[in-house]
Chain A
């Protein structure tokens, strides 16, 4: 057993009626770690968080807090603090009373101490002077800070956050991301964060757990998840990627694959994503290529594999420009993110060529087509 682990889930399953919301999930979160449960809606991430908080009880498996099974511990006896989606601030209480609530309930100090701590917590999130307001009189971002103060003031063993930034506008969301990360680092509190926003997950976490259909797809630091997605689903869900159907034509001596793609119209090199059981010639595979890994040229280059395409749309994204490339007669659209200003010749309707290096294309066995859902 890992002595550092504060939260451990072992083989947790949870069923709602006929739906298996969580399917045999195991993971552990270390002390001081910022861990994110990331996945599309319905992947079971909120159910897992609610299971840790004690609002749901697993049908199978065990949940341990600091090494102790907590399945027979009701929610109000667990030393965890949660920030709810929509914040769940008490509308009949002032901001200060909201922050004092947990301290009072857990009888952590004298009334004077409790009021002083609550004021400190409000100051920490930058809300001095708002003590006597009611939550309804605050903006979304301010309510968010109250919810954070209400949780952090308890100095809980673990902070649970359920899509805490979901209700804020983009600008505020990015500012709060930084703020949250700063608070987490200064307090050193173990944090479990639930989100469907991959950017949030990547920018804040020490560890990301990618979930799909109630199962863990991959666990690891953000860089690893981005660079070496273990399934086509993960690669597709994180970052902007192209997911292309292909057939393996040959396995080369260096381990690289030759694949036929675009309905067999072209061949390219790719790297098997699961080297332990690489696909064999004739196997159907899904090939994942990051949008930023795609290079563009006016004429085919001598080295590597290049494909002819038509620029069907360009959209300016600031630091990058995204091109939508239509490939041949099959009208498969490939997206390419080019750093900086794109060449002038790559205008709408222009004939161009694009390609990638063999290492940038990851080939997954086609069983994972299924799990790659409908995202494009």
Chain B
């Protein structure tokens, strides 16, 4: 089984969110960057588990980004990916990233391509579906469970009010949500091995230029919380009705 995992670099989940250059750029000053948690905890770890269960195959990660993403990419190798690819382009928006990934993946014969359900910075959840369309493959978004047997994948996904169990033949593109696997902490052997595993830099392909984020805004500061004494708790319901007018 040959698996490709999409790996993005994002600011740490607890990073201070601020902008610079007239609110046109994320302020990376003092921010730690990590592997997007959905890519790392769910997509990559499940890919490794499937490879281990099959006793054969390979797991490749692909990242669209500059040389500054290589430390993050090595983390994926330390967790257990066999090799990593970096497409040498600054990511600008979803279709551009998807076109870079599709350009790399199209002749490689991957059985599974797995992305995280979204990145925690842009929250679009678009790249997996776009890659699937560009490669003419089926795509299942928000998979919380994935099993593969005899060339067929069985997938569970949470839907409003329940769980849907789906079946599709490989090759297939998926986006991974919580439940698919448990986070793996790289051990010392993995970290040492990651230093010598192949990290191939491929040149950027030509892509379409269809959209761009032009500016950012921070939400207005929240007003002070109105405290209600515990013995008078029922007043909350009255206030939500008569003052906030939401119930």
A joins B in a complex:
no
Q: Residues on A close to B: CB < 8 A?
A: none
